[in-house]
Structure 1
Amino acid sequence: MERQVDARGMNCPKPVIETKKVLDALKEGSITTIVDNEIAKENVLKLVQNMAYKADVKEQGGNYYIHIYKEGSHKETGMKPINHKDMVMLIGSEVMGEGSFELGKVLMKGFIYTLTESKPYPKALLFVNSGVRLTTEGSEVIDYLRQMEGEGVEILSCGTCLDYFNLKNKLLVGGVSNMYTIVEKMNGAKNTIKI
């Protein structure tokens, strides 16, 4: 029986995440992901390519039907995965990228959500500068961060930064840290990514 992922109306990165969940659970066979825009179609096709599966696409009524074929003996990509458990992320802003502040907030929310759907999780998330706004009252990503903290991800916010923005009493997830500990966490990890 072929499975179907109806991702019409879903914002990025949901179509990719929902498709990956079904593919991960499927030993062999096929699924069809339905999306309603070109960008979602391209993103799902990139996922399929990265997972080394086959796909074909049909457009009908303004929707794209992406038929993905997962065979039990699909080829390996040959890429060695990074040990994400020994990785920390330094998040230095409440927004992602430069330019539009509003777009940056949307991108950061999407990024944090996507982290919750990508396992294994990083070892720690370190928040500095305006990034501490993501761990405090009013943040739209608190539930995602709490989910990761519940799974063992260490969440640390810079105490100096919390004081600067007058947010120390509004911290909702994780603990308060100092620059020494932040540097220690970064130095102790095999991989550090700055966002």
Structure 2
Amino acid sequence: MKNKIDVRGISQQQALNQLEKALEDQSIKTVEILSSEQDSTSTLINYLSNKGVAVEEVLQTPEGQTIIANISRKQIMTQKSYVVGNDTLGQGNEVIGQKLMNAFFNVSSDYEQVPASIFFVNTGAKLCVEQADTVDALRKLQEKGTDIIVCGTCLDFFEIKDKLAVGRIGTMHDLIAIYHGQEQVISL
């Protein structure tokens, strides 16, 4: 079933409330959101992303923007997120740890179900930059609806912010929101 939501001329909170109500309807597979303000459009896209809903496209119209999003309820593990604090998996040898981390994300990206979000912190941020072996797998996870978030402070510390290749820059607020909003947070 397809659902149209018109949020033109209402507050962002009212728009989010309408969208939340639509997402609760299990029969809705696609949602079209009519928005007239760029700020509202950006807020709604971020909300959809945080809920694991894939935004297919944003169309420009004379009245504003139309967001088209597909809701694949089986695809997103809505109550599960990962926090990645290292660029290796396991303790011990760094070379095998990097190979294992790369394999973990490559295999994860092949699964139909994906986590709601992955927050990369400390040396884990290095997994999201140009030339990292994990970038393609992380892009695939992002395309399936996973919100990829990379610690901005960490990118600055390692002087790699300009090399970010996948995900969005996040803050401690994003990390705390994951811990408060998810039933299960897995640390890697």
Classify the TM-score, shorter chain.
0.5 to 0.7
**Counterpart of 1:111?**
104
Structure 2 partner of 1:52: none
The answer to whether the 8 A contact 1:155-1:173 is kept is yes
Q: Does the 8 A contact of 1:85 with 1:120 survive in 2?
A: no
Query: 2: CA distance between counterparts of 1:186 and 1:171?
Result: 24
Q: Are 2:138 and 1:145 equivalent residues in the alignment?
A: yes
SS at match of 2:118: strand
Aligned pair 1:176/2:174, yes or no? no
Offset at 1:85?
Answer: 2.6
* Structure 1 stretches lacking a partner, 5+ long: 1-82
Q: RMSD in angstroms over aligned alpha carbons?
A: 1.1
Equivalent residue for 2:121?
128
Paired with 2:126 and 2:185, the residues of 1 have a C-alpha distance of 21
Aligned to 2:66: none
Which of structure 1's runs of 4+ aligned residues deviate more than 6 A?
none
Deviation at 1:152, TM superposition (A): 1.1
Name the CA distance, whole Å, in 1 between partners of 2:146 and 2:156.
23
* CA distance in 2: counterparts of 1:87 and 1:128, whole angstroms: 17
Shift of 1:117: 1.9
Alpha-carbon distance between aligned partners in 1 of 2:154 and 2:140, rounded to the nearest angstrom: 23
Q: TM-score, normalised by structure 2?
A: 0.58
Larger Rg: 1
Question: Equivalent residue of 1:123, what SS?
Answer: strand
Q: For residues 156-192 of structure 1, give each alpha carbon's deviation from its aligned partner in whole angstroms, at most 9, with x where no partner exists.
A: 0000000000011110001000011111122101110
* TM-score computed with the length of structure 1 as normaliser: 0.56
Of Structure 1 and Structure 2, which has the larger fraction of its residues in strand? 2
